[in-house]
Chains A and B, each alone.
Chain A
Amino acid sequence: MMKKISKSQFSQLFSNIDKSYQLFLPVELDGKVNFDLWQEGDKVNIEKLKTNISPKSFIFPQSETYMKFKRDGKKLKIDNVSGKKEDYVIFGVRHCDASSFKLLDNVFLEEPVDRLYEQRREKGTIVTMACFEPEENCFCTSFGIKPQTAPIEVDVTTWDLGESILWQSQTQKGEALTEKLNDILEDAANQDKAELNSLQESTKGKVKELPLAKLDPTKITGELKDLFDSEIWQELSERCLGCGSCTFVCPTCHCYDVSDFKGDAQTGERFRCWDSCMFSDFTLMAHGNIRKTQKERVRQRFMHKLVYYPNNHEGVYACVGCGRCVEKCPVHLDIVKVIKKLGGE
């Protein structure tokens, strides 16, 4: 059953969720909006489409300690650090970002299962917020994502009707959350559903008018090796600074590093953290480096998203069209340019 809640009751809504879950939602601070742990008095911003950093960090944290060690003479002791324990809700995830979770699942939940990631996925309830006004840098529809309709696997999906939001649970976890909020959620009226339908219809029209609407990765054809040997990589990579911003804001980038932190002489911990294929030492070995210049690194990133990942995952591209790289790349070298150069428009 579709539910509804007035925005004037948001504070009550968040505080009720907060009783049973850790609640993360888009909070505005110093002009930037990012997902953060909700606290009474926070400036919650559900209008902003793209948070600065994607909510990927809740299921795949930027840095995560998973092991502690202690050396005592010749003895070595290793302790497993377990993952996320608390149930949590991420409220206000956009459909592009919600779709990225599925892409990360394909990597981390494939055997052998990444248990830290699995725990975070199990503990999390994802509440999305539909987009009725996609922005000029948005191109989620190029990857089959609908801004007005949530992917079926998200737990709860919501729509902003201005004065209120509509609330629809889609999974058991979503149902469990909805039940806890029964006191303050009311049933949506037929009139609300009609309004939703008309907003969804008008969004379908708006996305067709977006500047990047014609972007179509399926038009990239050709053999893997021919695309690999394409001349575009040299030209495109010449401007790349190797800063790695694209990989850090990207909701689908999943490469990580494993490193040890030495506490004192005897103890320390091992953590994994986001890494970037744009960095020169990413593939550096004692005997040399297989990707010596930025050309090979730029090629790796985009070939991974547009060719390698789809080859390994039933044709699904490793991009959700959120447009963060389009906004953040200091030299405007983004996936949109690459898709166009490879004939995808």
Chain B
Amino acid sequence: MSCNCNEEHVNPLIPEIVVIKKMRVDTQDVTTFRVTKPGGGKPFEHMPGQCAMISVPPLGEAIFSITSSPTEKNFMEFSVKRCGEVTEYLHSLEVGSEIGVRGPYGNNFPVDDVLKGKDLLFIGGGIGLAPIRSVINYVMDNREDYGKVDILYGSRTPGDLVQSEDIFENWPSRPNTKVHLTVDHETEGWDGHVGFVPNYIKEIEFSTDKVALICGPPIMIKYSLQTLLEIGFKKEQIYTTLELKMKCGIGKCGRCNIGDKYVCKDGPVFRCDEIDELPDEY
């Protein structure tokens, strides 16, 4: 337990200071925060799917998925939906404000093994694009390592689609990459697809030799999973990411249990057959 170096071991609960470099308003309640260390650079390295704890004293901390790709060398991004105390406060800050961040926490999507060489189907709903975007951009930056890419992304209204630059411009312009957008209801000015994500999955008639990665509201995940199974996907081909209340992020505070797993360290990424093994409490 002792160590000969004179440096004090770092308490893993202490956040590092980062500066908000850019706040991009994505929708009426989602803003993407770009942060760097005060002297520039990322606060730490991560893999796609991992999370970080954002600190805004005196309102506390909350866990967010890192939406930027690890291939982004100069900064880190978080897409945050305004829906509670911490997020409300975050949204009220300005560029140049300093906040705290600690991480990375949890496991990641298997980008360097299982996903390599495969055709990929990304399915996102609303703010659920945040963790998926980290994987998509990682794949885009290592494009030759992966096969065909389909991105199916939906939200309630066109105004709720996040990351418009990526979904309308960057991704569709990449080789071998298709973006399928949908909104829940007819909206004036929207001439794209209308309908729920699970229905759209069925309509497109994807081939089933892909790996699917899903993230979105629990109800969307549930029905999308059901649809994928109906059209012939196996649970072993589908990954998703879960979210529960967290305080420590390091498997000690006892809050994000699902059965004997901790979402903060055993997750947040689970393969769907692994989720089947868990008790129904998420």
Footprint of B on A, CB under 8 Å?
Answer: 66-67, 69, 71, 74-78, 80, 82, 107-110, 112-116, 118, 121-122, 224-225, 228-229, 254-262, 268, 270, 272, 275, 277, 282-287, 290-291, 296, 300, 303-304, 307-309, 311-312
Smallest Cβ distance from B131 to chain A, in angstroms? 16
Pairs A–B under 8 Å by Cβ, sample size 15: A66-B13, A74-B94, A74-B98, A112-B250, A114-B250, A228-B259, A254-B254, A255-B254, A257-B247, A260-B57, A282-B255, A283-B244, A285-B84, A286-B87, A290-B245
Return the contact of A261 from the options B58, B94, B96, B100 (Cβ within 8 A). Answer: B58
**B11 on the A face (CB < 8 A):** yes
Q: For window 95-142 of chain B, which residues contact chain A by CB distance below 8 Å? A: 96-100
Check A66 against B11 for contact (C-beta < 8 Å). Answer: yes
Return the contact of B260 from the options A113, A115, A255, A311 (Cβ within 8 A). Answer: A311
Check B98 against A76 for contact (C-beta < 8 Å). Answer: yes
Smallest Cβ distance from A307 to chain B, in angstroms? 7
Chain A residue numbers with a CB within 8 Å of B61 are 258
Check B58 against A258 for contact (C-beta < 8 Å). Answer: no
Check B99 against A76 for contact (C-beta < 8 Å). Answer: yes
4 further A-B contacts with Cβ under 8 Å, apart from A78-B14, A110-B251, are A76-B99, A80-B11, A107-B251, A112-B12
Nearest residue (CB) in A for B87 is: A286
Give CA–CA (A127, B277) in the complex, Å: 43
Chain A residue numbers with a CB within 8 Å of B247 are 256-258, 272, 275
Check B245 against A258 for contact (C-beta < 8 Å). Answer: no
Check A74 against B14 for contact (C-beta < 8 Å). Answer: no
Check A115 against B9 for contact (C-beta < 8 Å). Answer: yes
Knowing A122-B2, A311-B260, the reply to whether A116 touches B11 (Cβ < 8 A) is yes
Check B257 against A308 for contact (C-beta < 8 Å). Answer: yes
Give CA–CA (A284, B245) in the complex, Å: 7
Check B58 against A78 for contact (C-beta < 8 Å). Answer: no
Return the contact of B254 from the options A114, A121, A258, A277 (Cβ within 8 A). Answer: A277
Chain B residue numbers with a CB within 8 Å of A260 are 57-60
Return the contact of A257 from the options B8, B9, B253 (Cβ within 8 A). Answer: B253
Give CA–CA (A118, B17) in the complex, Å: 25
Check B245 against A283 for contact (C-beta < 8 Å). Answer: yes
Give CA–CA (A258, B253) in the complex, Å: 9
Chain B residue numbers with a CB within 8 Å of A259 are 60
Check A304 against B254 for contact (C-beta < 8 Å). Answer: yes
Knowing A112-B250, A287-B83, the reply to whether A308 touches B99 (Cβ < 8 A) is no
Give CA–CA (A121, B1) in the complex, Å: 10
* Contact count band on B: 35 or more
Smallest Cβ distance from B82 to chain A, in angstroms? 9
Give CA–CA (A296, B281) in the complex, Å: 9
**B252 on the A face (CB < 8 A):** yes
Q: Is the interface of A mostly helix, strand, loop or mixed?
A: mixed
Cβ-closest 3 pairs across A and B: A255-B254, A286-B84, A262-B58
Nearest residue (CB) in A for B38 is: A75
Check A74 against B57 for contact (C-beta < 8 Å). Answer: no
Smallest Cβ distance from A248 to chain B, in angstroms? 14
Check A283 against B97 for contact (C-beta < 8 Å). Answer: no
Smallest Cβ distance from B95 to chain A, in angstroms? 9
Check B58 against A115 for contact (C-beta < 8 Å). Answer: no
**B282 on the A face (CB < 8 A):** yes
Nearest residue (CB) in A for B254 is: A255
Check A285 against B244 for contact (C-beta < 8 Å). Answer: yes
**B15 on the A face (CB < 8 A):** yes
Nearest residue (CB) in B for A107 is: B252
Knowing A80-B11, A256-B247, A296-B281, the reply to whether A270 touches B57 (Cβ < 8 A) is yes
Give CA–CA (A320, B233) in the complex, Å: 47
Check A115 against B57 for contact (C-beta < 8 Å). Answer: no
Nearest residue (CB) in B for A266 is: B58
**B279 on the A face (CB < 8 A):** yes
Check B252 against A290 for contact (C-beta < 8 Å). Answer: no
Return the contact of B248 from the options A110, A118, A256 (Cβ within 8 A). Answer: A256
Nearest residue (CB) in B for A261 is: B58
Chain B residue numbers with a CB within 8 Å of A304 are 254, 257
Nearest residue (CB) in B for A259 is: B60
Give CA–CA (A139, B12) in the complex, Å: 36
Check B57 against A80 for contact (C-beta < 8 Å). Answer: no
Return the contact of A258 from the options B10, B13, B277 (Cβ within 8 A). Answer: B13
Check B253 against A256 for contact (C-beta < 8 Å). Answer: yes
Chain B residue numbers with a CB within 8 Å of A115 are 8-12
Give CA–CA (A229, B280) in the complex, Å: 9
Chain B residue numbers with a CB within 8 Å of A118 are 1, 9
Give CA–CA (A258, B248) in the complex, Å: 8
Give CA–CA (A113, B10) in the complex, Å: 9
Return the contact of A272 from the options B13, B58, B100 (Cβ within 8 A). Answer: B13
Check A286 against B83 for contact (C-beta < 8 Å). Answer: yes
Contact with A along B1-32 (1 / 0, CB 8 A): 11000001111111101000000000000000
Nearest residue (CB) in A for B243 is: A285
